[in-house]
A and B are shown apart, each in its own frame.
Chain A
Amino acid sequence: MKCGIVVFPGSNCDHDAWYATSHNAGAEAQMLWHKETSIPTDIDCVILPGGFSYGDYLRCGAIAQVSPIMSAVRDHAKKGKFVLGICNGFQILTESGLLPGVLLRNTSMSFICKDIYLRTEQILSPFTNALEQGQILRVPIAHGEGNYFADEETIHILEQEQRIAFRYCDANGITSAESNPNGSINNIAGILNDTGNVLGMMPHPERCCDPLLGNIDGLGVFTSLMQTVGIV
C-alpha cells in the first residue's frame, strides 16, 4: 500500500501520519504538497493530516478545502480510492463536501487534549476491517472544534447505513454524555462516506501506533488499509 500525506501550511500531524504508515504499518508513504494539482496514480490512500491548516482562518478546513490539491483528492475519492481525514483532515473533508455535516466548537468551548475511548461500530470498511466489532480503542484527541453536527435527516441516514465508524465511549464501551468529550451528536467520532472509501475521524490513530509510546490502539486503522490494499 502507498499513502500520500497532504501537507498544508499549518499541518502538524503530517510527519506522525508518515511515521505511523511507513514505520509502524509497513506501508510506503510520501508527502504531497498542497499546491500539487494531481495525485500520483500509485497512491492508494490519501491522508489529510491533523493540524491547523491556514491557521484555522475563517473556519477549520475552510481554506484548505479550496487548495489546489483538493480537486485531485475529490477525483481520487470518486475513483473509489481511499481518503482518510484525521482531526483537521476530517474538518477539511466536511468543508469540501466529501463527508456530510460539520465540526462545531466543543460544547465546553475548550481545546481538549487527552486520551479518550472509542467503540468500533463498523468493521466492514477498508479502514476498520482488522478491528473487531465493538472493539474499544484508547486514542488521543486534540481539538477545539470536534463537535460533530448534521441535520436530523443526515444523522438518520448515517445511522441507517451504518456509516458511523467510531463512537466516543467509556473504558467499558458505554456511550453516554459523560463519555462524549465534545458534544458530538450520538457520540460520533468518525464517519464514512456513502461508498465507504472516505473516513473522517477526530481522534488521532497515528499518535498511538508505536510500541515505544505505550499504546498501539490506533494501528488497526492502518493495518486495516494494508489488509484491504495489500503490501505493494
Chain B
Amino acid sequence: MKHFKAMITVTLRKSILDVQGKTVEHALHSTNFTSIEHVRIGKYVELFVHADTAEQAMSIVDDACKTIIANPIMEDHHIELQEVSVGEIA
C-alpha cells in the first residue's frame, strides 16, 4: 500500500462569472499591476489517500471531488498527486 498527498484546487467554471476574481483583478489594476489579467479565486483542499497505485489514488480522489469536494455544475477541480512516506502524512 502506498501513500499519496493530493493537492486539489477548485475554481468556478470558466463559463461562470467569478465576481470575486474580477474584483481582485480591478484592485490589482488600480495598484498598477496592469499586466495581470483573468484572476480567478478558488479553494485549496489537501488530503492524504492510501492506494496500491497512483492511478487508483487519482481515481479515488477524482471520485471524491465529483461527489462532495466540488460541485460540477459550477466548479472545475484540478488534482495534483504526490507519493509520500508514512512520516510525511499530515
A interface residues with partner B (beta carbon < 8 Å): 58-59, 62-63, 66, 94-95, 101-102, 104-105, 107, 109, 149-151
B residues near A107, Cβ cutoff 8 Å: 17, 19
- Provide the bound-state CA to CA distance between A95 and B75, in Å: 13
A residues near B43, Cβ cutoff 8 Å: 58
* Interface CB pairs A-B, < 8 A, 27: A58-B43, A58-B68, A58-B69, A59-B71, A62-B68, A62-B71, A63-B68, A94-B73, A95-B71, A101-B73, A102-B71, A102-B73, A102-B74, A104-B12, A104-B16, A104-B74, A105-B19, A105-B20, A107-B17, A107-B19, A109-B19, A109-B20, A109-B23, A149-B16, A149-B73, A149-B74, A150-B73
Beyond the given A62-B68, A102-B71, A105-B20, please list 18 additional residue pairs across the A-B interface where CB-CB is below 8 A: A58-B43, A58-B68, A59-B71, A62-B71, A63-B68, A94-B73, A95-B71, A101-B73, A102-B73, A102-B74, A104-B74, A105-B19, A107-B17, A107-B19, A109-B20, A109-B23, A149-B16, A151-B73
- Chain B contact surface mostly: mixed
Total residue contacts A-B, CB cutoff 8 A: 29
A residues near B68, Cβ cutoff 8 Å: 58, 62-63, 66
B residues near A58, Cβ cutoff 8 Å: 43, 68-69
B residues near A105, Cβ cutoff 8 Å: 19-20
- Provide the bound-state CA to CA distance between A30 and B68, in Å: 29
Q: How far is the CB of A61 from chain B (nearest CB, A)?
A: 9
Q: How far is the CB of B35 from chain A (nearest CB, A)?
A: 25
A residues near B12, Cβ cutoff 8 Å: 104
- Chain A contact surface mostly: loop
B interface residues with partner A (beta carbon < 8 Å): 12, 16-17, 19-20, 23, 43, 68-69, 71, 73-74
- Provide the bound-state CA to CA distance between A34 and B71, in Å: 22
Q: How far is the CB of B6 from chain A (nearest CB, A)?
A: 15
Q: How far is the CB of B87 from chain A (nearest CB, A)?
A: 29
B residues near A104, Cβ cutoff 8 Å: 12, 16, 74
The interface centre, meaning the residue of A58, A62, A66, A95 with most chain B CB atoms within 10 A of its CB, is A58
Q: Ordered nearest first, which 4 A-B pairs have the shortest CB separation?
A: A102-B73, A102-B74, A109-B19, A107-B19
- Provide the bound-state CA to CA distance between A109 and B43, in Å: 17
- Provide the bound-state CA to CA distance between A58 and B23, in Å: 22
Q: How far is the CB of A108 from chain B (nearest CB, A)?
A: 8
- Provide the bound-state CA to CA distance between A151 and B74, in Å: 9
- Provide the bound-state CA to CA distance between A58 and B20, in Å: 17
- Provide the bound-state CA to CA distance between A151 and B16, in Å: 10
- Provide the bound-state CA to CA distance between A95 and B71, in Å: 8
Q: How far is the CB of A71 from chain B (nearest CB, A)?
A: 15
Q: How far is the CB of B30 from chain A (nearest CB, A)?
A: 17
A residues near B20, Cβ cutoff 8 Å: 105, 109
- Provide the bound-state CA to CA distance between A58 and B10, in Å: 10
- Provide the bound-state CA to CA distance between A89 and B63, in Å: 25
B residues near A102, Cβ cutoff 8 Å: 71, 73-74
